[in-house]
Structure 1
Amino acid sequence: MTRTKLCGLWQIRDIVAANEVSPDFVGFVFAQGSTRYVSPEHASALRKLLSPGIKAVGVFVDESPEMVAALLNQGIIDLAQLHGHEDEAYIDALRNITDKPLIKAVRVRTAEDIEEANQSTADHVLLDSGTGTGRAFDWSFLKHMTRPYFLAGGLTPDNVAAAVRRLRPFAVDVSSGIETEGKKDKAKMTAFQAAVQEVNDR
């Protein structure tokens, strides 16, 4: 069964919609350069509104391990997604101060990037074309994957079913693909979830 992650939620209405759609994960972006940035305080308020069955993922770009661990250990987020240049030493440092699950995002451009993902000691890996580019990478590289993965980049309600049928990833991750004019669109969120569920139900 492929899971779903709706990322970049930052408004109360996004959480209300997510509670109705019921994805497996939602993502809060803590990278200050992002248009979807949420502060720790705002994320805490949003988390309190989130249905208990939905896990919250914090997305970080080269943040200090102490900051990431604090949000995990306080229960504001359940998992941390590392979307910058975090290496194995960084992951080791984080492991020393939190036991919460980690997702390492890998930008896929070559077969070597796939090998990096396979070798990562993070609990999960996420494969993407970049940080919020809204474009897909060359999926032919995925034949070299030896572990489950989150698939991101260029997914929409219109193409996610085909992606799930073809690749059977552990999870699919979407942000811009469920937006209209830069804001989360409940209809698109619903359609994305339904498309994945339809494939899972077959």
Structure 2
Amino acid sequence: MVKLKICGLRRVKDIEVVNKYVPEYIGFVFAKSKRQVSLEEAKILKAKLHPEIKAVGVFVNESIANVCRCVEERVIDCIQLHGDEDNNYIVKLKKKVNVPIIKAFRVGSKEELISKIESLEEAPIDYYLFDTYTASAYGGSGESFDWNKLKSLVGKQIQKPYFLAGGIGSDNLKEAIAHKPYAIDMSSKLENNACFKDENKIKQIIDIFNEVIE
């Protein structure tokens, strides 16, 4: 069954909403972003989070020490690396933490994606995450990419379970699920105009998930 991750939570109200619906994962963005939270803010949110929901920390080229601190203080249950982290970085990090590591790839051309995956094929990565390539940011564009680029790679270059991200909302969620990723990662399309999570939009996608599962 495809799982759900709701990323970019930054208010207690957001936590109260996801606690009603219990997605498998939520995300705290520690990287520079309009959704960024500090470690202290994330501690408060994690303390109120339903125990069955795993918290993912999203980092971009962060120091290993800072990532480890978030794990050691039990603020996050998984690590998502969304920057230029290389094999050496991931090996060092994995030696220090005992939580799953998700490595994000921004999808441009298929050839570039294959090259990026192959450069990390020896790294101790637990999950991949595929997001839309934008030149100006490491993620969070709210735009989709051509998911068909992944089809011929699954089982070949893509040999790990993966999260599918990038502009997924109620309008294209069923199509995203049909690609059979490990999990769907959603953020911007679950927000209002102020970039805060919208309970009505979250309920709508939960209803779609339940409809597909049934």
Given candidates 140, 163, 166, the residue that maps to 1:153 is 166
What residue is the counterpart of 2:51 in the other structure? Answer: 52
TM-score between the two structures when normalised by the length of structure 2: 0.89
Given candidates 161, 165, 177, the residue that maps to 2:189 is 177
CA–CA distance in structure 2, aligned partners of residues 169 and 113 of structure 1: 20
What residue is the counterpart of 2:211 in the other structure? Answer: 198
Percent identity, please. 42
Deviation at 1:113?
A: 4.2
CA–CA distance in structure 1, aligned partners of residues 142 and 25 of structure 2: 19
Residue pair 1:2, 1:170 contacting (<8 A) in 2 also: yes
CA–CA distance in structure 1, aligned partners of residues 117 and 5 of structure 2: 19
Given candidates 123, 128, 134, the residue that maps to 1:125 is 128
What residue is the counterpart of 1:21 in the other structure? Answer: 21
What residue is the counterpart of 1:79 in the other structure? Answer: 78
Q: Once superposed, what is the RMSD of the aligned Cα atoms?
A: 1.3
**C-alpha spacing 1:8/1:75, structure 2 compared with 1 (3 Å):** same
Residue pair 1:106, 1:113 contacting (<8 A) in 2 also: no
CA–CA distance in structure 1, aligned partners of residues 166 and 24 of structure 2: 18
Query: What one-letter code is carried by the residue in structure 2 that aligns with 1:179?
Result: E
What residue is the counterpart of 1:38 in the other structure? Answer: 37
CA–CA distance in structure 1, aligned partners of residues 112 and 140 of structure 2: 18
Given candidates 125, 142, 145, the residue that maps to 2:150 is 142
Deviation at 1:43?
A: 0.2
CA–CA distance in structure 1, aligned partners of residues 117 and 173 of structure 2: 22
* Secondary structure, counterpart of 1:184 in structure 2: coil
CA–CA distance in structure 2, aligned partners of residues 84 and 197 of structure 1: 33
1:143-191 CA distance string (max 9 Å, x none)? 11223210000100221012212x0111000110100111110011111
CA–CA distance in structure 2, aligned partners of residues 117 and 126 of structure 1: 11
CA–CA distance in structure 1, aligned partners of residues 209 and 93 of structure 2: 33
* Secondary structure, counterpart of 1:173 in structure 2: strand
Structure 2 residue runs of 5 or longer lacking an equivalent are 134-138
Give aligned pairs, total.
199
Structure 1 residue runs of 5 or longer lacking an equivalent are none
CA–CA distance in structure 1, aligned partners of residues 86 and 204 of structure 2: 36
CA–CA distance in structure 2, aligned partners of residues 52 and 41 of structure 1: 19
CA–CA distance in structure 1, aligned partners of residues 181 and 9 of structure 2: 22
CA–CA distance in structure 1, aligned partners of residues 18 and 112 of structure 2: 32
What residue is the counterpart of 2:180 in the other structure? Answer: 168
Residue pair 1:114, 1:142 contacting (<8 A) in 2 also: no
What residue is the counterpart of 1:69 in the other structure? Answer: 68
Query: What one-letter code is carried by the residue in structure 1 that aligns with 2:76?
Result: I
